Amino acid sequence: MKPPSAPRDRGPASATRPTVTTQRARATHRAEAIRVGAKRLAKTLLRPLLYRYPPIGLQPERLHVWLRTLIETAPVEGDVVEVGCSLGGTAAYASRMLRNLGVAKRYLCVDTFSGFVPDQFADDLARGNRASNRWLFADNSRALVRGILDQHGAREVALLAGDISTIAESLLPPRISAALLDVDLALPIYDGLRKLYPRLAPGGVIAVDDCPEGYDWQARQGYERFCRETGVAPRYELGVGLVRKG
């Protein structure tokens, strides 16, 4: 009679089934995805009531810096670009100001419209960000932002979906007079500056939000890395990093 064969060595249990930690992480991710989907649906359905006024995410003093930048660069040739537009409130408000002043410029918003890129947030987490910030803005969508802009009379504001770190450069304006980088994290801030600065017209300005010292968001690290590599002197005003050409 043939002896029973020895059981196959399947390796450690961890190689064949997820660990408790992995299972918990997956469950948490699924729960967050469900919550985000529910919030996105609610925000979309209730948009006319929730956003009767432009939902501006910038702190008041930093909104002041951005609006003043647009006024100062009004004579400069080129488009206006806002990278990281959240719900579009800042763009709606700023574009209205430009219309009131008779400044005819294309206003372009670039955003993932789905929150942070996982690898970029993981990098920011290692730099000092908080895990609780991971899902902020994930419940947005391009359709929701378009609806808010149209609701507030900003139909001329153009939307471009994509990650500024990987988006094709051919999709970006060839000439920029002013740009607002409000993507919070070090890596996309750095990549955004590298892509936008060569397009900045003489006299143009890039404003980088979320640059106070000791902040959760690590935008300041991306800004200062760009400044070191290009020889641009860092300049801060009310928590905004500024880059001026010429």
**In 3D, which of 233, 122, 135 has the Cα closest to residue 188?**
122
**In 3D, which of 148, 159, 195, 174 has the Cα closest to residue 54?**
148
> Quick check: 245 and 157 in contact, CB under 8 A?
no
**pLDDT recorded at residue 86:** 95
Tokens matching residue 193:
């500056």
Least confident of 159-163, 210-214, 227-231: 210-214
Residue 231: CB atoms within 10 A of its CB come to 6
Phi, psi for residue 176 in degrees, rounded to 5: -125, 135
- Range list of H helices, the chain: 13-16, 20-45, 47-50, 60-72, 89-100, 118-127, 142-151, 186-196, 219-230
pLDDT at residue 14 greater than cutoff 50? no
Confidence of residue 11 (pLDDT cuts 50, 70, 90): very low
**pLDDT recorded at residue 139:** 85
**pLDDT recorded at residue 89:** 97
**pLDDT recorded at residue 125:** 95
pLDDT at residue 13 greater than cutoff 90? no
Cα–Cα distance between 174 and 242 in angstroms, integer? Answer: 20
Find the mean pLDDT for residues 225-236.
97
Task: Give the tens place of pLDDT for each residue, 102-157.
Answer: 999 999 999 999 999 999 999 999 999 999 999 888 889 999 999 999 999 999 99
* 240 three-class SS: strand
**pLDDT recorded at residue 137:** 85
Could you give the angle at the alpha carbon of 86 between the alpha carbons of 226 and 49, nearest 5°? 165
The reported pTM is: 0.82
Least confident of 51-65, 126-140, 158-172: 126-140
* 79 three-class SS: strand
Cα–Cα distance between 40 and 97 in angstroms, integer? Answer: 29
Rg of the chain in Å (alpha carbons): 22
> Quick check: 106 and 173 in contact, CB under 8 A?
yes
Q: For residue 207, what are the contacts with CB-CB under 8 A and spacing of at least 6?
A: 65, 66, 69, 178, 179, 180, 181, 240, 241, 242
Confidence of residue 2 (pLDDT cuts 50, 70, 90): very low
